[in-house]
Amino acid sequence: MEILDATVAAGARAREVAALLGVGLTTLQRWRRQFAGDGDGLDGRKGSPRLVSHRLIDEERQRIVLTCNEPEFAALPPGQIVPVLADRGLYIGSERSFYRVLHAHGQAHRRGRARPPQEPRPVPRLEARGPNQVWSWDITYLPTSVRGVWLYLYLVIDVWSRKVVAWDVAEREDAQIAADLVSRACLRERISKGRRQPLILHADNGNAMRAATLEARLEELGVLRSFSRPRVSNDNPYSESLFRTVKYRPDYPRRPFRSQDEACRWVAEFVAWYNHRHRHSAIRFVTPAQRHSGQAVEVCRHRARVYEQARQRHPRLWKRSTRCRRLPEAVWINPPPQEHAVHPATLLMAA
């Protein structure tokens, strides 16, 4: 108040002085009324060091801490400690007082053996701007003529070109089979460990995908791993979409496979059709093999010239220019929001 009176007498405005002191002008006016009357002059603001009649003394706070740290109560919350003490005829403080004291001593956390809540896994964001930058793989079931017995189809797809770079049909789900499959794919695609931009292999959280055998093999090959979030199928959309194409083909067998050899023959025919004859809608209706080898650029240019020539010969059939046939330059797994879009060739948020 002395500072306020001196500054106001020197010509300053009371509101500006209150802002510099960090106190509201109405508070200063109330204090002036209290000093002018019979007020006690104590600070009545919330959180001030004022006298509270029911505040615990230091001995009582220390007793609460020692009680909570006893082996009998070390794994119990205050909601259970306070009733147990009451059953024994003891009252140290309320449940809220227990929480307040524990919080002040840094002990207000989970007291049991249960694992504390985990932070959500970051969203995997992968970008591919060329072949053999990001692969996606998964395993699906193939039915057999024996009830309860399944075959396992392993498929590895290049995210950028949609080409199936490796496949296998096995009688079990095994990390060693997956490791050999990826090794053959890297050898066929000439993936070396000393690449400037390492290959990223994306998968879900299955046992074969998380196995140490596959991890060791990928480390030898110089391949990085990426995983989907638990129970989020959208993080591995390319493999899921490929399995949908596999099992909804018109020539997919209506009866279960009678043997592993029969399943291998059908999958080999499917992969040949998919890579070399199937025109994929997401890559401007070129085949994955054309996209993977770089031929798709010339194919799209040729189509654009054909459509432009047709438009010039018959302009009445065209209300606007021809359709854009430009191939997508980048393919994403979980693209970032537009306001946070980045340009690096490959962005790995979760490995």
CA pair distance 289, 291, nearest whole angstrom: 5
Q: Mind listing the pLDDT tens digit for each residue in 249-302?
A: 999 999 999 999 999 999 999 999 999 999 999 999 999 999 999 999 999 999
The structural domains of the chain, with segments of one domain joined by +, span 2-36, 58-104, 126-285, 291-329
3 state SS of 200: strand
CA pair distance 348, 344, nearest whole angstrom: 10
Q: What is the DSSP pairing of strand 200-203 with strand 224-227?
A: parallel
Greater confidence (217 vs 346) lies with: 217
Query: Is the CB of residue 124 less than 8 Å from the CB of residue 350?
Result: yes
Q: What angle do CA 312, 314, 315 make, to 5 degrees?
A: 70
Q: Domain 126-285: which topology?
A: Nucleotidyltransferase; domain 5 (3.30.420)
Q: Mind listing the pLDDT tens digit for each residue in 16-69?
A: 888 888 888 888 888 778 777 665 656 666 665 566 677 888 999 999 999 999
Among residues 52, 271, 259, the alpha carbon closest in space to that of 158 is found at 271
User: What's the pTM?
Assistant: 0.68
Beta-carbon contacts of 220 under 8 Å, excluding residues fewer than 6 positions away, are 193
